[in-house]
Amino acid sequence: MIVTPSNIGVSSRPTRVAIAGATGYAGQELLKRLVRHPAASLTVAMSSRSGSPSRSLPALAKIWDDPIVPLDIDRLVAEADVVFLALPEAVSAEVAPRLLEHGRRVVDLSGAFRLRDDAARHRWYPATGELPEGTVYGLAEHHRASMRAARLISCPGCYSTAAIIALWPLGTAGLLEGAAIVDAKSGVSGAGKIPSDRTHFSENHGSVAAYGIFAHRHGPEIEQELGHGVTFVPHLVPLDRGILETIYGTLRPGTTEAQVSAAMHQAYAEAPFVRLTGGALPEIKHVVHTNFCDVGWKVDEESGRIVMVSCLDNLVKGAAGQAVQNFNLAVGLDEREGLL
């Protein structure tokens, strides 16, 4: 029987939180933010496997001096009200439902629960069965009102966050025609901590490579949220962190730059972590180590073309920071808590 999660709200007692998957890049970013969060009490940080030995992380010395212990679902249930999962999607697909059964709320950073369509989810995330009741797609800028009642918050992918934030206002306002092209570039940390030939220093340094064309799981996620097709092409660039997406689209005939600007500012007037730069196009160095997504654009009114540039830090707004932002909303806090 599924147990309804406890009604966690704002109180004098910090919310007990735990992290599973604290040794990865996103997990370590998450730990750094939660351990300093004024309304959260981090009780335990775990690795991604139950059989792994306890370990310490030099980068976290004097930030979190307790060991990173093996994955233990019973201990997560006993010691936390909200559990953050920074696990591989197949592990999250197994762990999250078990935590929900015990009334714990889950903030999941994997892709396991992002796709609502059964066929798409079974194709791209075959380890995931049905979506648990109370699952919310965790893009705060568009689903803020749903967070408070969510049992499971499925945080968006890093590429997806940048693309959806840029394109959604124009699609909603009916200003776009046809499919947009999302030319995306990411630093190496977006590939995760497990090394591969593609992420080897000697292969990545001094090079830029396209990959996953028509075969990247963030493509259907972007299309799900926008409600129309996109051509999504990711690239790996020799940076440790950061995403820059150059997005090309065609505007409805007669659309002006002023209409584009009005749609963007109306959509994000109450969004503290979206910075609209207009014609001053953003750069990766403007957003690294922050929870901001910066979006700029250029409009050619004569041809009806628009070029947008969307930037964020893939480990913060694209992962750990976004997870903390969603946590804040879920427990009734200001979404900026612990992030500014």
User: Read out DSSP for 5-35?
Assistant: PP-----SSPEEEEEESTTSHHHHHHHHHHT
Query: Within this chain, do residues 70 and 199 fall inside the same structural domain, yes or no?
Result: no
Query: Within this chain, do residues 231 and 309 fall inside the same structural domain, yes or no?
Result: yes
Local confidence band at 111 (pLDDT 50, 70, 90 cut-offs) = very high
Query: Within this chain, do residues 120 and 135 fall inside the same structural domain, yes or no?
Result: yes
Query: Within this chain, do residues 167 and 149 fall inside the same structural domain, yes or no?
Result: no
Query: Within this chain, do residues 165 and 306 fall inside the same structural domain, yes or no?
Result: yes
In this prediction, residue 204 carries a pLDDT of: 72
Query: Within this chain, do residues 172 and 302 fall inside the same structural domain, yes or no?
Result: yes
> Mean pLDDT across the stretch 220-243?
95
At 30-86, the pLDDT tens digits run 999 999 999 999 999 999 998 888 888 888 899 999 999 999 999 999 999 999 999
Domain that holds residue 146: 15-156+318-330
| SS3 state at 232 | strand
Better pLDDT: 154 or 49: 154
In this prediction, residue 206 carries a pLDDT of: 81
In this prediction, residue 53 carries a pLDDT of: 85
Q: At residue 197, does pLDDT exceed 90?
A: no
- Report the CATH number that the domain containing residue 297 is assigned in CATH: 3.30.360.10
Local confidence band at 5 (pLDDT 50, 70, 90 cut-offs) = very low
* 188 within some domain: yes
Distance CA 8, CA 14 (A): 10
Residue 104, CA atoms < 13 Å, CB-side half-sphere: 27
Burial class (CB in 10 A: 0-12, 13-18, 19+), 146: middle
* 140 within some domain: yes
Q: At residue 224, does pLDDT exceed 70?
A: yes
Query: Within this chain, do residues 307 and 236 fall inside the same structural domain, yes or no?
Result: yes
At 279-305, the pLDDT tens digits run 999 999 999 999 999 999 999 999 999
Query: Within this chain, do residues 167 and 301 fall inside the same structural domain, yes or no?
Result: yes
Distance CA 293, CA 162 (A): 7
In this prediction, residue 13 carries a pLDDT of: 86
* 42 within some domain: yes
* 194 within some domain: yes
The token pair at 324 is: 């903390």
Local confidence band at 4 (pLDDT 50, 70, 90 cut-offs) = very low
The pTM assigned to this predicted structure is: 0.93
Identity of the amino acid at 259:
Q
Query: Within this chain, do residues 168 and 140 fall inside the same structural domain, yes or no?
Result: no
In this prediction, residue 207 carries a pLDDT of: 84
Q: Residue 164's CB: how many other CB atoms inside 10 A?
A: 28
Q: At residue 7, does pLDDT exceed 60?
A: no
In this prediction, residue 205 carries a pLDDT of: 79
Distance CA 55, CA 75 (A): 17
Query: Within this chain, do residues 75 and 136 fall inside the same structural domain, yes or no?
Result: yes
34, 254, 288 from 96: Cα distances, Å:
20, 48, 30
* 216 within some domain: yes
- Report the CATH number that the domain containing residue 133 is assigned in CATH: 3.40.50.720
In this prediction, residue 52 carries a pLDDT of: 81
- Active site includes 293? no
Query: What's the structural domain count of the chain?
Result: 2
Q: Residue 130's CB: how many other CB atoms inside 10 A?
A: 10
Catalytic residue (choose from 155, 158, 293, 311): 158
Better pLDDT: 202 or 151: 151
Q: Look at strands 15-20 and 274-278 and give their pairing.
A: unpaired
In this prediction, residue 12 carries a pLDDT of: 62
* 1 within some domain: no
* 7 within some domain: no
> Mean pLDDT across the stretch 228-248?
95
In this prediction, residue 333 carries a pLDDT of: 97
Sheet holding 209-210, edge to edge: 209-210, 230-236, 176-186, 243-251, 305-312, 293-300, 274-278
In this prediction, residue 9 carries a pLDDT of: 46
Cα 325 vs. chain centroid, distance in angstroms?
A: 10
Average per-residue pLDDT for the chain: 93
Burial class (CB in 10 A: 0-12, 13-18, 19+), 70: middle
**Could you tell me if residue 319 is left (phi over 0), alpha (psi between -120 and 50 degrees) or otherwise beta?**
alpha
Query: Within this chain, do residues 62 and 93 fall inside the same structural domain, yes or no?
Result: yes
Query: Within this chain, do residues 91 and 62 fall inside the same structural domain, yes or no?
Result: yes
* 9 within some domain: no
